[in-house]
């Protein structure tokens, strides 16, 4: 069994290509330690491959799974949720429930 690489220290610097994803906040105040959940969500929902690779170096698969359970993948569209379901081994029925709840929300109802 291959072990996950250790996560980087909480004081690690956030690279410019990740900071660019945060056009709506003051990027100078962005901190991995205090903004971890927001950074994970933004990278997973809007980041490119380079950002995903960086994130995978900052977290372990278990930490990402915990983020999904805690947030129910709320910032991701159904396609990205399905991708991470497969990549991280998330239970299919659980992801089905998250997607169904998302589709009942007002944002998605406007498309019907």
- 84-106 pLDDT tens trace: 999 999 999 999 999 999 888 76
- 68-86 pLDDT tens trace: 999 999 889 999 999 999 9
Per-residue DSSP letter, 62: H
State if pTM tops 0.85: no
Q: Give me the pLDDT at residue 53, please.
A: 97
Cα 33 to Cα 22: distance, rounded to the nearest angstrom:
16
Q: Give me the pLDDT at residue 46, please.
A: 94
- 42-73 pLDDT tens trace: 999 999 999 999 999 999 999 999 999 999 99
Find the helix or strand (DSSP H, E) in which 30 lies.
Answer: none
Q: Where are the chain's structural domains?
A: 16-20+31-109
């Amino acid at each position: 069994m291959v072990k996950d690489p250790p996560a980087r220290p909480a004081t690690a610097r956030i690279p410019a290509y990740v900071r660019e994803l945060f056009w709506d906040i003051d990027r100078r105040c962005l901190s991995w330690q205090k903004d971890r959940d927001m950074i994970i969500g933004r990278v997973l929902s809007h980041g490119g491959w380079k950002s995903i690779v960086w994130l995978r170096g900052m977290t372990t698969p278990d930490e990402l799974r915990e983020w999904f359970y805690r947030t129910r993948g709320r910032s991701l569209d159904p396609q990205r949720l399905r991708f991470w379901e497969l990549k991280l081994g998330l239970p299919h029925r659980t992801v089905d429930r998250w997607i169904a709840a998302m589709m009942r929300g007002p944002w998605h109802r406007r498309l019907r």
